[in-house]
Amino acid sequence: MLASDRNWVYASFALGQCKHFTGSAEEAISLIERAVRLSPRDPEVGVWYENIGDVHLLESRTDQAIIWLEKARNHTPEHSIIRGNLAAAYGLAGEIERAATELAEARRLSPDDRYSSIARHRILRNYGALLPEVRAKFEATCITGLRKAGMPEE
């Protein structure tokens, strides 16, 4: 796709997501940032910011994750996954009150109840489909942060 049109915004984002879920963090960030540069007013830019924040979160760059996830929340405040990932990042940063507030918003906004428990979140996030090394990063960052935010196991 990108070979035929290097400025195809959605191809840059989609390839960035693929790189994200296969563990190629720096390539993922570069591709998603390209999508943001090419279409900074796109209605999906909040989701793009969230994906950059999520990559930073998985790479244990919590401060950078928070910056991007706050940008995502400010752009798209009614998105449950953005709020949930921000809760996890705040939890990892030790900002428990802020983490709990974001988790409460994620629960309120979630159409599928994915923030009711760690077990439900794992099912709906489709952890089984992830590469083992990427799944381990999710456990060490996202799941740990959600626990610190107050999400119960069951």
Instruction: Give the CATH number for residue 128.
Output: 1.25.40.10
Of residues 74 and 6, more confidence is placed in: 74
**19-37, pLDDT tens digit by residue?**
988 889 999 999 999 999 9
Cα 37 to chain centroid, rounded: 19
pLDDT at 4: 53
Structure tokens that stand for 39 in this block:
């279409």
Q: Answer whether residue 1 is part of any domain.
A: no
Work out the average pLDDT over 111-140.
91
C-alpha to C-alpha distance for 93 and 96, rounded to whole angstroms: 8
Q: What is the pTM of this model?
A: 0.93
Q: Answer whether residue 119 is part of any domain.
A: yes
Work out the average pLDDT over 132-140.
93
Structural domain range at position 105: 9-149
C-alpha to C-alpha distance for 92 and 123, rounded to whole angstroms: 22
Q: How many domains does the chain have?
A: 1
Q: Answer whether residue 102 is part of any domain.
A: yes
pLDDT at 1: 46
DSSP state of 23: T
